[in-house]
């Protein structure tokens, strides 16, 4: 009897698709980035300063927003956005359950109530119809998420916001460089929050930014991101000379510092090149996987530039003899790193225990939550590595096909 060694899963004692582990993500850091950081290290100015300020100007120009505040995370940006519009006890903020912890956590940090609404099952972005039904007199803001790098239905979400006098704070952690009907994300919603976390499309290791056209919000966020001490406090040790500063509010320590600013400024210049590589790799993964009936893929809507931050697939467990976690473990055993974006936030213990959310409330989000696996997709991946991803997934699916 001929035994095909390669078809035996590594999880079941076979040979792995790859001899070495392919990480789920690796940043692309080149000599320019290294030089930018090294120059900053040698400049004598490490904290918030000229590089961070230059990045703020560049990101405002890139997105087309009037103002940009650089911060130490997207979480900080979301938190300060809610603070700037005065979200507090008794208020409700509507968001998507298919998101990262912080989108919902910041609502809780403001002592407000997170209100989830279901997602569009095809895009996994917030469903505008469900959103419209969830608005109450207590609703103060909406935080839609640009899931995986595809802008949400901004026209519809903004229209609901305008109709009810709500602030729309776009969580664009995945979506730097994305466009909606010809406008860059960052210039459409009332405020837009970006992440430069290590896995994001451009990175400073940790980092974030907020863009807005409103000068009063930008100023409040700038102040609240640096202890609540008066404007331009970062200059207090600069050549301009020391000036007294005042504590105007009990702010936070959320400032981006210049090592981050230098790195992400250098990265911003490469965003379009990175994007072109993501597009090519995404097409390669599509070509290798789209014929598998056991997988489904989020839909792309017209009129948007999707920036392919993630490559999520939906494992149609109805067509398989294994659940998502078994498939996930088998792909990892083939030496392919994976991610899960996301298990629905409303089903996590804190949210069920504190707010009484239960399974069954948001069926589209839950269906996806139970079946999604994100496959590696990042500019420094080679075509051969993308082919390994395809081979590993096909091998695992073939094993568990019904």
Ligand X SMILES: Cc1ncc(COP(=O)(O)O)c(C=O)c1O
Annotated active-site positions, please? Answer: 200
Please identify which residue in the block is written with the tokens 């809507």. 301
Q: Which stretch binds ligand X (CB under 6 A): 112-120, 170-178, 244-252, 347-355?
A: 170-178
**Minimum distance of ligand X from residue 368's CB (angstroms):** 14
Distances, alpha carbon 362 to alpha carbons 69, 237, 346, 397, in Å:
34, 52, 9, 27
Q: Which stretch binds ligand X (CB under 6 A): 85-93, 168-176, 239-247, 322-330?
A: 168-176
Please identify which residue in the block is written with the tokens 């997105």. 63
CA angle, 309 then 311 then 316, to 5°: 150
Q: How many CB atoms lie within 10 A of CB 364?
A: 18
103, 203, 317, 332: residue in contact with ligand X (rule CB under 6 A): 103
The pattern of x and - marking residues 131 through 150 that bind ligand X according to CB under 6 A reads --------------x-----
* 169 or 223: CB nearest ligand X: 169
- Residue 173 touching ligand X (CB under 6 A): yes
Q: Which stretch binds ligand X (CB under 6 A): 148-156, 169-177, 220-228, 374-382?
A: 169-177
**Two tokens, residue 61:** 């120009």
- Residue 255 touching ligand X (CB under 6 A): no
* 153 or 388: CB nearest ligand X: 153
In the three-class reduction of DSSP (H, G, I as helix; E, B as strand; rest coil), residue 304 is classed as strand
- Residue 208 touching ligand X (CB under 6 A): yes
Q: Which stretch binds ligand X (CB under 6 A): 67-75, 236-244, 282-290, 343-351?
A: 67-75
48, 99, 150, 201: residue in contact with ligand X (rule CB under 6 A): 99
69, 70, 74, 392: residue in contact with ligand X (rule CB under 6 A): 74
User: Peptide bond preceding 342: is omega within 30 degrees of 0, i.e. cis?
Assistant: yes
- Residue 75 touching ligand X (CB under 6 A): yes
| Count of residues touching ligand X (by CB under 6 A) | 14
* DSSP at 318: G
Nearest alpha-carbon partner for 342 in 318, 319, 309, 320: 309
**Minimum distance of ligand X from residue 104's CB (angstroms):** 10
CB distance 98 to 147 below 8 Å: yes
Beta strands in 146-273 (DSSP E): 167-171, 179-180, 183-184, 191-195, 208-212
**Dihedral pair phi/psi, residue 338, rounded to 5°:** -135, 170
17, 139, 167, 195: residue in contact with ligand X (rule CB under 6 A): 195
197, 245, 297, 367: residue in contact with ligand X (rule CB under 6 A): 197
**Minimum distance of ligand X from residue 208's CB (angstroms):** 5
DSSP for 344-390, written as a single string: -GGGSHHHHHHH---TTSSHHHHHHHTTEEEEP--TT--HHHHHHHH
Q: Which of residues 15-44 bind ligand X (CB under 6 A)?
A: none
**Minimum distance of ligand X from residue 7's CB (angstroms):** 36
**Minimum distance of ligand X from residue 362's CB (angstroms):** 16
DSSP for 94-121, written as a single string: EE-SSS-HHHHHHHHHTT-EEEE-PBPT
**Minimum distance of ligand X from residue 102's CB (angstroms):** 4
Residue numbers of the site for ligand X (CB under 6 A)? Answer: 73-75, 99-100, 102-103, 145, 171, 173-174, 195, 197, 208
């Amino acid at each position: 009897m001929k035994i095909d060694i390669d078809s035996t899963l590594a999880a079941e004692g076979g040979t792995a698709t790859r001899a070495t582990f392919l990480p789920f993500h690796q940043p692309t850091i080149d000599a320019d980035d290294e030089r930018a950081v090294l120059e900053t290290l040698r400049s004598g100015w490490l904290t918030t300063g000229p590089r961070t300020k230059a990045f703020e100007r560049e990101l405002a120009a890139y997105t087309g927003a009037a103002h940009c505040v650089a911060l130490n995370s997207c979480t900080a940006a979301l938190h300060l956005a809610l603070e700037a519009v005065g979200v507090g006890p008794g208020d409700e903020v509507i968001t998507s359950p298919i998101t990262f912890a912080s989108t919902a956590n910041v609502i809780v940090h403001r002592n407000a109530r997170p209100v989830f609404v279901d997602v569009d099952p095809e895009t996994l972005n917030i469903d505008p119809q469900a959103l419209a039904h969830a608005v109450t007199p207590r609703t103060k803001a909406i935080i839609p998420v640009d899931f995986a790098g595809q802008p949400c239905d901004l026209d519809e979400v903004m229209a609901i916001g305008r109709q009810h006098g709500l602030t729309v704070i776009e969580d664009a952690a995945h979506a730097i460089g994305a466009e909606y009907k010809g406008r860059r994300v960052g210039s459409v919603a009332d405020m837009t929050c970006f992440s430069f976390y290590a896995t994001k499309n451009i990175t400073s290791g940790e980092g974030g930014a907020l863009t807005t056209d409103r000068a009063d919000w930008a100023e409040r966020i700038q102040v609240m991101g640096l202890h609540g001490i008066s404007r331009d406090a970062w200059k207090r040790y600069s050549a301009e000379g020391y000036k007294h500063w005042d504590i105007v509010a009990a702010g936070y320590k959320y400032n981006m510092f210049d090592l981050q600013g230098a790195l992400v400024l250098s990265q911003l210049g490469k965003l379009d090149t990175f994007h072109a590589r993501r597009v090519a790799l995404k097409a390669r993964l599509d070509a290798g996987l789209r014929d598998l009936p056991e997988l489904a893929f989020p839909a792309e809507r017209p009129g948007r530039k999707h920036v392919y931050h993630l490559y999520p697939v939906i494992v149609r467990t109805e067509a398989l003899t294994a659940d998502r976690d078994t498939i996930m473990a088998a792909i990892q055993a083939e030496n392919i790193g994976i991610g899960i974006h996301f298990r629905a936030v409303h089903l996590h213990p804190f949210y069920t225990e504190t707010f009484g959310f239960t399974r069954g409330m948001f069926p589209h989000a839950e269906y996806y939550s139970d079946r999604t696996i994100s496959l590696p997709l990042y500019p420094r991946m080679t075509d051969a590595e993308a082919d390994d991803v395809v081979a590993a997934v096909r091998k695992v699916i073939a094993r568990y096909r019904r």
